[in-house]
Amino acid sequence: MKKKILIVDDEPNIVMSLEYTFKKQDFEVYIARDGSEALEILKHHIPNVVLLDIMMPNVDGYQTLKHIKNTDRLKDTKVVFLTAKNKASDIEKGLKLGADKYLTKPFSVKKIVSEILELLT
Amino acid sequence: MNNYALIAIIVVYLAVLFYIAFLAEKKRQSKWVNNPYVYTLSLAVYCSAWTYYGSIGIAANSGINFLPIYLGPVIAAPLWVIVLRKIIRISKQHKISSIADFISLRYGNNRFLGALVTIVCLFGTLPYISLQLKAVSETFAIMSDDSSYVSTAVIDDSTFYVALLLAIFATFFGTQNTDASEKHKGIIASVAFESVLKLVFFLIIGAYITFYLFDGTTDIYEKISVTENFKQLTILGGLEEGFNWFFMISLSFMAIFLLPRQFQVSVLENNREKHLKKAIWLFPLYLLLFNVFVIFIAWAGKLTFGSTQNAEYYTLLLPLENGNSFLATLVFLGGFSAVISMVIVSTLALSTMVSNNLIIPYGFLDKFIKNQPERNSKYIKNIRRISIFTIIISAYFFYVSFSKELSLYSIGLISFVIISQLAPSFFIGLFWNRGFSKAAIIGIIVGFFITVYTLILPFTLQAYTGNDDFTQYGLFGMPALKPYALFGIDFLSAPAHAFFWSMSFNVMSYLVFSLISKGNYRERNYAEMFVDSRNFTSLQDSALVWKGEAYVSDIKNVLVRFLGEKRATRALTIFFTKYKLPQDTQMADARLINFSEKLLTGSIGSASAKILIASVVKEEQISLVEVLKILEESKENIVSNKVLLEKSNELSQLSSKLKDANEELITKDKQKDEFLDTVAHELKTPITGIRAATELLMDEDDDMPKEMKEQFLKNILQDSDRLGRLIHNILDFEKLETGRLNLDKQYLDIHKTIIKAINSVSQIAAKKDVRIINKNVHAFKINYDEDRILQVLTNLLSNAIKFCEPKTGKIIVDYKLGNQFVEISVTDNGKGILEEDHNYIFDKFYQSKYQNTIKPQGSGLGLAITKQIIEKHNGKIWAKKGKKIGATLVFTIPFK
């Protein structure tokens, strides 16, 4: 069974690279351009992992994470933050909220893949 | 009428008064006793036998000359609200018990001054009381058909017994309390009652004579106007008479304040200050009523008796002549009422003065210090009782020796002139703080002696020597020293003349000696308190000019002697509580000294209180130099306090400024942090894109489709452009914000610049199929930096294009000339700007919550930079509010 990933980011160029990469890794890829779109998708799908940007219009990454954590249906879904916010305080906040991993931009595509795969085994 | 019947009537009447006084004392708090009417009626103690009988004598002999004596008080009444209220306030605060106390306190508790005032009051009042006795005696004689009244022996003289009865009455109700500043409600109630009786009876007899014996006022007038000498009775005679009137009015004006009995009823017995308000109109009304019939009674008497009878007693003689002895008895009782009230209040006031200002401070103080408190209080009461008896008996002997030859009216005026000698130190001292005790003493003595010389000596000498050489030829035969025409002033009546000269010298002495002497610290302090009575409490409490050492226990001992253990302890407890001092305070300060003096003043007078307290206080004499130094210091303190206050205000202002600056710094720091964060984020985004795409393209194992490769390469290009733009904008913005940008202003046509801007965005517009309309085609030259304004216009146009829908989009660029500026607007028909965003769109990196979900390609600095540029041109930029469709951004460039 194909692993499912939801990529949530408002930067189309970045999304494009990630989408290409994870499709190559045989993931079923869902894409959302902000938190609200992500929540809409999560109503119908239960991905194995959500790759989540923080600074987004409307519903941001933090709110999206909280929603996932509060949804019983999504209790097995891992959440990984992928953001430009790389201050120690930001990282601490992200992990405290319950993110499984905190990855920062700019990133190496390979590194992201290995981190996600590691998380899912 | 039978002698004994008359005496019986008198005794019954006295019993009634006794009962009223007794009731009032028993119900001290009742509103029957404490109301403005009783207060006003008690003021009518002013109308003594002199008014009741004497006025008619004057009216009969010299026309309307009786009026000035009432005009003075009528003029004074409105001033009571200011003057009398001040006096009442001071007296209450200081537990003043007499006018002697009042004056001596004003001049620093001066013992001698208090004694002097007492003596002046004694001299002024004794003849006055004797006048009352004379009236009683003579009316008694008229009423009685028995001629034995004029007895040569005191023991047979009924007047003597009447005097004794009065003394008992005054003693009983006047000395219930040791503290003379306590109210004498019994006496006041009986005085008020008597005031009603004397007025009513006088009006009854007036009406009886005018309307019963005669046919009304016109009848009397018509009859009298045909008699000889009538003219001189009704008109004012020339300038001289004018002066007489002026001085008489002044005299009675002063008397209403200064007469011991008036001071007693108007100040000391005043319950509430607001009672004054009623008194100021009711009292003049009372006087008016009293004088309504005077002239007609006088004329009626003259028509009936000619010059055969003493005109002063027409009110008795007329009813008796017509056989109406009942009415005559009423009149007699009315007159008797006037007598009793005057005698009792006067002796009460005098006895307090004599005991507190004369006897106690000059002889009994040492004794008091050694005595037990109960005995002290008994002593004080006994001194007063003896004083009352002595005064009344002295008045009786004065009457026996002198008054028989003098008219009521002239005796009354002698009293007035003597009492008026207190006026300068009293009135001027109330409003001028430079008046000092030495000046007051000299003024009073000088004035008193001039009065004696010009008024008392002549008739005394005449009474003894039987000739009028002194009056005729003056002292040592010098015409300038004639007692009734001093220095050639011969046109005034004797009292007016005496008043004029004594007052002139008195006032002059007072002013001159006040100006040349300096007074001690105590005087200055009290002078200040009296003059500025509103600051009274603070001045009284100020420990400014007192230097000395005293133990609380010593002071307490003194207090105990007069107040008793219980009251003394309670008073001290109250004092310590009030000033937040510990109850076991050892050393007394100036406030306690003042407080204790005040406590004792009621019992023994202010001068004695001062002496007593001083006896336990090691008071160091403060030299004038020291006082001045203290004053100077306190002045410096005030000044330096002021400077300190200003400094501290400055400091607090500075510190608040610092705080603001610090907060601003913190905010700026925070903003800077946020700015850097945002910048970092904005820079990282395209770099992330570039980095990811490059990594994917570089993977040689991957067989990426060609179109995918092209897409990634395009993305890299796009992100690089974005990055470049961003860096350019950041630097630009930084330059603008730190003010390092210099505008290259030139005088150019704004219209051409607008066209340039439209051209520069025409390609992007065309791509989206958005129309741009340049509405105003007129040229207008102003001063501006073209590159920068171009940047602004391009920015606004790009934004407009960005938010417009493809194909239907329409943008209008327009400009108008304002009063002093050009107003340029860019309007689109896009999705518009939310009301709540209007204030933020010009903030750096602000992005509306409701922006396109696809992130528009912008640096987030465009509008922030635009705003900076416009502001640099001294213009303004804003988004038009209340638009339904699209957005309009407007900016101005001023020209001049």
For residue A98, the domain's CATH number is: 3.40.50.2300
Q: Which band of pLDDT confidence, cut at 50, 70 and 90, is reported for residue B89?
A: confident
Residues of A in contact with B698 (CB under 8 A): none
- Average pLDDT rounded to a whole number, residues B371-381: 72
Give the count of domains, chain A. Answer: 1
Query: What does the pLDDT read at residue B515?
Result: 86
Q: Quote the CA–CA distance of B621 and A63 in Å, as a whole number.
A: 86
Evaluate whether residue B526 is within a structural domain.
Answer: no
Least Cα separation, residue A97 to chain B (angstroms): 21
Which residue of B682, B695, B697, B717 to mutate against A (max A Cβ within 10 Å)? B695
Evaluate whether residue B144 is within a structural domain.
Answer: yes
What does the pLDDT look like over B720-732, one tens digit per residue? 988 888 888 888 8
What does the pLDDT look like over A13-64, one tens digit per residue? 999 999 999 999 999 999 998 899 999 999 999 999 999 999 887 788 999 9
Q: Do A58 and B692 touch (CB under 8 A)?
A: no
- Smallest CA-to-CA distance from B880 within B828, B844, B804 is with B828
- Average pLDDT rounded to a whole number, residues B466-483: 66
Q: Do A57 and B855 touch (CB under 8 A)?
A: yes
Same domain, B140 and B64: yes
Domain final position from B378, B405, B432: B405
Same domain, B225 and B268: yes
Residues of A in contact with B703 (CB under 8 A): none
Give the count of domains, chain B. Answer: 4
Furthest-apart CA atoms within chain A: distance in Å: 38
Same domain, B616 and B685: no
Residues of B in contact with A8 (CB under 8 A): none
Same domain, B15 and B125: yes
Evaluate whether residue B438 is within a structural domain.
Answer: no
Same domain, B636 and B587: no
Range B90-93 contact pairs with CB under 8 angstroms and sequence separation of 24 or more: B90/B529, B90/B530, B90/B533, B90/B536, B91/B181, B91/B267, B91/B268, B93/B536, B93/B537, B93/B540, B93/B598
Q: Do A20 and B708 touch (CB under 8 A)?
A: yes
What does the pLDDT look like over B435-444, one tens digit per residue? 888 889 999 9
Asked if A18 reaches chain B (Cβ–Cβ under 8 Å), the answer is: yes
pLDDT top residue among B548 and B174: B174
Among A37, A87, A106, select the one facing B684 at the smallest CB separation. Answer: A106
Evaluate whether residue B529 is within a structural domain.
Answer: no
Place of tokens 């290009």: B717
Among A21, A57, A106, select the one facing B688 at the smallest CB separation. Answer: A106
- With CA atoms as reference, the chain B residue closest to A58 would be B849
pLDDT tops 50 at residue B856: no
Furthest-apart CA atoms within chain B: distance in Å: 162
Evaluate whether residue B32 is within a structural domain.
Answer: yes
Same domain, B83 and B144: yes
Q: Which band of pLDDT confidence, cut at 50, 70 and 90, is reported for residue B543?
A: very low
Same domain, B564 and B697: no
Instruction: Identify whether the C-beta of residue B189 lies closer than 8 Å to the C-beta of residue B271.
Output: no
- With CA atoms as reference, the chain A residue closest to B682 would be A84
- With CA atoms as reference, the chain B residue closest to A108 would be B692
Same domain, B172 and B61: yes
What does the pLDDT look like over B410-436, one tens digit per residue? 777 888 889 999 999 998 888 887 888
Q: Quote the CA–CA distance of B841 and B874 in Å, as a whole number.
A: 19
Instruction: Identify whether the C-beta of residue A64 lies closer than 8 Å to the C-beta of residue A37.
Output: no
Instruction: Identify whether the C-beta of residue A105 lies closer than 8 Å to the C-beta of residue B688.
Output: yes
pLDDT tops 80 at residue B176: no
pLDDT tops 50 at residue B827: yes
pLDDT tops 70 at residue B640: no
Least Cα separation, residue A91 to chain B (angstroms): 14
Query: What does the pLDDT read at residue A20?
Result: 93
Domain final position from B405, B436, B453: B405
- Smallest CA-to-CA distance from B691 within A102, A110, A96, A119 is with A110
Cite the beta strand spans of A18-92 per DSSP E. 27-32, 49-52, 78-83
- With CA atoms as reference, the chain B residue closest to A36 would be B853
Among B681, B704, B847, select the one facing A57 at the smallest CB separation. Answer: B847
Evaluate whether residue B125 is within a structural domain.
Answer: yes
- Smallest CA-to-CA distance from B56 within B417, B333, B343, B304 is with B304
Q: Quote the CA–CA distance of B444 and B607 in Å, as a whole number.
A: 18
Q: How many alpha carbons lie under 13 Å from residue B104 in its C-beta half-sphere?
A: 30
Q: What is the residue range of B549's domain?
A: 544-622
What does the pLDDT look like over B123-133, one tens digit per residue? 888 888 888 88
Q: Which band of pLDDT confidence, cut at 50, 70 and 90, is reported for residue B892?
A: very high
Among B684, B719, B851, select the one facing A13 at the smallest CB separation. Answer: B719
Same domain, B147 and B202: yes
pLDDT tops 90 at residue B152: no
| Touching A: B residues 822-861, CB under 8 Å | 847, 849, 851, 853-855
Same domain, B328 and B207: yes
Least Cα separation, residue A110 to chain B (angstroms): 9
- Interface predicted TM-score (ipTM) of this complex, two decimals: 0.93
Size of interface A-B (CB pairs under 8 A): 77
Least Cα separation, residue B825 to chain A (angstroms): 29
Residue A47, preceding bond cis, omega within 30 degrees? no
- Smallest CA-to-CA distance from B179 within B540, B565, B573, B567 is with B567
Q: Quote the CA–CA distance of B594 and B598 in Å, as a whole number.
A: 6
Q: Which band of pLDDT confidence, cut at 50, 70 and 90, is reported for residue B597?
A: confident
pLDDT tops 90 at residue B555: no
Write phi, then psi, for B813 (nearest 5 degrees).
Answer: -105, 130
Q: Tokens in use for B81?
A: 């609200």
Same domain, B263 and B196: yes
Q: Tokens in use for B769?
A: 């199929």
Task: Give the pTM.
Answer: 0.57
Q: Tokens in use for A101?
A: 């991993």
Contacts of B860 (CB under 8 A, 6+ apart): B678, B682, B844, B845, B846, B847
Evaluate whether residue B446 is within a structural domain.
Answer: no
Q: What is the residue range of A27's domain?
A: 3-120
- With CA atoms as reference, the chain A residue closest to B694 would be A17
Residues of B in contact with A16 (CB under 8 A): 693, 711-712, 715
Name the DSSP letter for residue B310.
Answer: -
Same domain, B331 and B400: yes
Q: Which band of pLDDT confidence, cut at 50, 70 and 90, is reported for residue B853?
A: very low
- The whole-chain average pLDDT of chain B stands at 80
Query: What does the pLDDT read at residue B891?
Result: 93
Q: Do A18 and B692 touch (CB under 8 A)?
A: yes
